[in-house]
Amino acid sequence: MEQKNDTRLMQKHIMRDMSEGMLIVDFSGTIRAVNPAALAIFGCAEEDLVGLPFAACFFEYPENDEFNQTILDAVYSSGERQERIVPFKRADRTLTLHVRASFLKEEGRRLGLIAVISDISELAELRDAVKAMEKIQTLNRKLELKNEFLEKTFGRYISDDVVRTILETPDGLVMGGRKREVTVMISDLRDFTALSTRMDPAPFLEMLNHYFEEVYEVIESYHGTLLEFLGDGLFVVFGAPIASSDHAAEAAAAAVSMQLRMERVNAWNREHGFEELRMGIGLSTGEVIAGNIGSEKRTKYGVMGQVVNLAGRLESYTAGGDIIISQATRDAVKEPLELAASRRIHFKGLTEELTVYRLLGIGGRHGLHLPEDSRIFRSLDRPMVLSMSPMEGKTVLPERYEVRLTEVSLREAWAETDAPLQNFDSLYLDWEEGVYARVAETQGERYRLRFTSCPPSFAARLRLAFSG
């Protein structure tokens, strides 16, 4: 937000200090801004223009038809810039103006029309063609530099694919959208809220931004479009705004590659004295409505539909390092998939249960696989006996069961319990501040639990038990 405010302040100073006149008109035909140089050219005060209809201010003299037409042509020519030398009549005399009109863009969307105006009456009167051309070229270059500045500044706030779609299609800024089959990815870091309370803001943001840079590089390489940062999570779509017949495979390959990239992320974290990060990813494929969402004043490109909600629900079933995909995603991928645990789940809002899978790899031309589970478990002479409650979402349910940890590693444990557990179930273990776990594998009444969040005292207890 601070950067946006700085950019707007810079724009304000640019307008104020420009030697060329600048006139901004919104799409309702109302004049929104005019700088001092333009007021001098038009021979009027700011209150005579700002907030008033363009037609009421400039349609008085028929001699100004060419000036007015230059502005109007910029609106109806699908964004093509208009540049002309035109006469302009005001109360005391007639000027010769060089006018260049084009769309005013901010954050990838069109706000209205901007006209850059220069009084070249003296040059015209002297008929000095060489000097006039030099003057025009100088003005053109200044405007190009300002446009480059705006594009580089605002381009950081929106995906390049979205920018190109908006700018290169005739209906790029039309509110609404179209139906499109896509694959949606929702990712999130495990135990990140607790981590944020243990770190100072500056190193915390340094670590988070480095993580985002690494995973976004992967997303971009598989043609994904990052729609939004969700705190420490990401909302990504494959197959929009640029359509793709291979979006599900690209999403699956991106998810596996992102998990593999976490090894590099955590190596960097260790080098800088930061804690390791673990990420969960949910993938869902289906039909969405994709397009411009919001109001005329504030718009963003987005996708909406049950598929988005489902991707978020699938992500909520993941532990660190997991990728959970829907049946629709599995069916849409043409390459062979390596899958582990599966489960049928009834999601709120759906009439039927859905089968979901834990994704371990994708073959074919991608050839990506997560490392095999090679962690060593140590059997305990005496089981760790704890009280356990199942969870629904982030709510701990009142049912309580006894759970016995019989084998442990530093992040997982094999457990026995009479509770009716299934793959991907979330659990709360009663230990001091609380331990959170997820069922990673089931073998009858024996379960492999993966700890997703645990206090330092429990982590120390695991280390002690593992070391013997």
Please say whether the beta carbons of 332 and 183 come within 8 A: yes
- The whole model's pTM is what? 0.61
Q: What is the tally of structural domains in the chain?
A: 3
Beta partners for residue 229, in sequence order:
234
| Confidence category of residue 131, pLDDT binned at 50, 70, 90 | low
Task: Tell me which of 162 and 97 has the higher pLDDT.
Answer: 97
The number of angstroms, rounded, from the C-alpha of 85 to the middle of its chain's C-alpha atoms is: 43
What sign results for the dihedral spanned by CA atoms 289, 294, 296, 299?
Answer: negative
57 and 110 share a domain?
yes
194 and 55 share a domain?
no
Domain boundary residue, one of 307, 337, 369:
369
92 and 148 share a domain?
yes
191 and 272 share a domain?
yes
pLDDT of residue 427: 92
For residue 83 the two structure tokens come to 């540049």
pLDDT digit string, tens, across residues 389-400: 999 877 899 999
Q: Which CATH number goes with the domain that contains 47?
A: 3.30.450.20
**% residues pLDDT > 90 (the chain):** 29
| Confidence category of residue 79, pLDDT binned at 50, 70, 90 | low
Please say whether the beta carbons of 188 and 230 come within 8 A: yes
Asked if the structure places residue 226 within a domain, the reply is yes
Asked if the structure places residue 165 within a domain, the reply is no
349 dihedral zone (left: phi>0; alpha: psi -120 to 50; beta): left
Is the pLDDT confidence value at 3 over 50?
A: no
Considering 240-249, 279-288, 434-443, the range whose residues carry the highest mean pLDDT is 279-288
Please say whether the beta carbons of 38 and 117 come within 8 A: yes
354 and 396 share a domain?
no
For residue 84 the two structure tokens come to 């002309």
Strand (E) or helix (H) holding 260: helix 247-271
Beta partners for residue 103, in sequence order:
113
Q: Looking at this protein, which amino acid is placed at residue 359?
A: L
Please say whether the beta carbons of 304 and 292 come within 8 A: no
pLDDT digit string, tens, across residues 341-368: 778 877 776 777 888 999 999 999 999 9
Is the pLDDT confidence value at 165 over 70?
A: no
Place of tokens 């500045």: 149
Is the pLDDT confidence value at 171 over 50?
A: no
d(CA 167, CA 164): 5
**% residues pLDDT > 70 (the chain):** 81
pLDDT of residue 19: 77
Is the pLDDT confidence value at 160 over 70?
A: no
Domain boundary residue, one of 157, 189, 205:
157
Place of tokens 């009084």: 119
Among residues 221, 218, 210, the alpha carbon closest in space to that of 281 is found at: 218
Q: Looking at this protein, which amino acid is placed at residue 114?
A: I
Please say whether the beta carbons of 256 and 323 come within 8 A: yes
Asked if the structure places residue 62 within a domain, the reply is yes
pLDDT digit string, tens, across residues 86-129: 899 888 888 888 888 888 776 667 778 888 888 888 766 665 55
What average pLDDT does the segment 262-267 reach? Answer: 93
Angle value at C-alpha 348, between 346 and 354, nearest 5 degrees: 30
3-state class of 329 per DSSP? helix
Asked if the structure places residue 46 within a domain, the reply is yes
Considering 67-81, 256-270, 342-356, the range whose residues carry the highest mean pLDDT is 256-270
pLDDT of residue 120: 82
121 and 193 share a domain?
no
Which of 4-18, 57-71, 285-299 shows the lowest mean pLDDT across its residues?
A: 4-18
Place of tokens 């959170």: 436
pLDDT of residue 130: 58
d(CA 145, CA 77): 23
pLDDT of residue 283: 97
Q: Rounded to the nearest 10 degrees, what angle do helices 247-271 and 201-221 cross at?
A: 150
222 and 361 share a domain?
yes
Task: Tell me which of 376 and 165 has the higher pLDDT.
Answer: 376
Is the pLDDT confidence value at 174 over 50?
A: no
What average pLDDT does the segment 253-276 reach? Answer: 93
Which of 12-26, 27-41, 99-113, 142-156 shows the lowest mean pLDDT across its residues?
A: 142-156
- Phi, then psi, of 167 in degrees rounded to 5: -80, -25
94 and 36 share a domain?
yes
Asked if the structure places residue 302 within a domain, the reply is yes
Asked if the structure places residue 164 within a domain, the reply is no
pLDDT digit string, tens, across residues 395-440: 899 999 999 999 988 888 999 998 989 888 989 999 887 888 889 8
pLDDT of residue 33: 86
Asked if the structure places residue 125 within a domain, the reply is yes
What average pLDDT does the segment 214-236 reach? Answer: 90
pLDDT of residue 192: 79
For residue 331 the two structure tokens come to 């069916």
337 and 205 share a domain?
yes
Residues 6+ apart with CB under 8 A from 152: none
What sign results for the dihedral spanned by CA atoms 245, 232, 214, 438?
Answer: negative
DSSP state string for 107-176: TTEEEEEEEEEEE-HHHHHHT-HHHHHHHHHHHHHHHHHHHHHHHHHHGGGS-HHHHHHHHHSTTTT-BE
Containing structural domain, residue 325 = 171-369
Q: Looking at this protein, which amino acid is placed at residue 167?
A: L
Residues 6+ apart with CB under 8 A from 389: 396, 397, 398, 399, 400, 401, 427, 428, 430
pLDDT of residue 14: 55
Is the pLDDT confidence value at 154 over 50?
A: no
Query: Mean pLDDT score of the chain, rounded to an integer?
Result: 82
Among residues 31, 34, 42, the alpha carbon closest in space to that of 15 is found at: 34
3-state class of 60 per DSSP? coil
397 and 336 share a domain?
no
| Confidence category of residue 143, pLDDT binned at 50, 70, 90 | low
Task: Tell me which of 20 and 306 has the higher pLDDT.
Answer: 306
pLDDT of residue 157: 44
Strands 323-326 and 279-294 come out as: parallel
Asked if the structure places residue 166 within a domain, the reply is no
322 and 189 share a domain?
yes
Please say whether the beta carbons of 85 and 100 come within 8 A: no
Q: Which CATH number goes with the domain that contains 413?
A: 2.40.10.220
Task: Tell me which of 1 and 138 has the higher pLDDT.
Answer: 138
Is the pLDDT confidence value at 44 over 60?
A: yes
pLDDT of residue 2: 45
304 and 421 share a domain?
no
Q: Which CATH number goes with the domain that contains 255?
A: 3.30.70.1230
Residues 6+ apart with CB under 8 A from 165: 172, 241, 242, 301
Among residues 232, 352, 227, the alpha carbon closest in space to that of 292 is found at: 227
pLDDT of residue 61: 80
Please say whether the beta carbons of 408 and 466 come within 8 A: yes
Domain boundary residue, one of 316, 346, 369:
369
